[in-house]
Amino acid sequence: MVIRKVEDDKREFMDLLLIGDESVDMIERYIEPGSLHVGSMDNKDVAVIVVVENNDDSVEIKNLAVDAAFRRRGIGRKMLEYVEKLYPDKRVILGTGETPSTLRFYRSCGYRYFHRIPNFFTDNYPNPIVEEEVTLRDMVYLYKDSPKNDTEEHF
């Protein structure tokens, strides 16, 4: 798999971006301030990740998606590891809905519960989002510290 940063024509990847976030309006808010990285296999674009640098010691993943036909092959994990390596001194944070498989994915990649924004999905999206029989309501924030700063494992 090859991962590249895309600077121009970011909207060409809207189909993949819409897998990670179903709202074009939301995507439009972060696509320009954010950096877009695209993963491809055999010259086919199969994954996207969008990262925004915050004004503190963290970066935020705004969108992560893998083409449904290419899941469970370690691509999502590789996209996260790529961003973690790009910002080795930063905490990586991300907000997500409480879809069970998504939470399992992030947990298996080393992400932990940080905090939640109550009613984020019900307040900001026009229609209810139902995934795996769960209606998304709160945005749950997860985080992973760089190995340098993550002392928890040593105790």
Ligand X SMILES: CC(C)(COP(=O)(O)OP(=O)(O)OC[C@H]1O[C@@H](n2cnc3c(N)ncnc32)[C@H](O)[C@@H]1OP(=O)(O)O)[C@@H](O)C(=O)NCCC(=O)NCCS
Give me the residues that bind ligand X (CB under 6 A), please.
Answer: 19-20, 63-66, 71-77, 96, 101-102, 104-105, 108
In the bound state with ligand X, the residue whose beta carbon lies nearer, of 2 and 149, is 2
In the bound state with ligand X, the residue whose beta carbon lies nearer, of 62 and 90, is 62
**Shortest separation between residue 126's beta carbon and ligand X, angstroms:** 19
Closest residue to bound ligand X by CB: 76
Look at the block and give the residue holding tokens 């969108």. Answer: 63
What tokens were used for 98?
């409480």
**Shortest separation between residue 135's beta carbon and ligand X, angstroms:** 15
CA nearest 51: which of 102, 105, 112, 92?
A: 92
* Residues in CB range of 138: below 8 A, 6 or more apart: 98, 116, 117, 118, 119, 120, 121
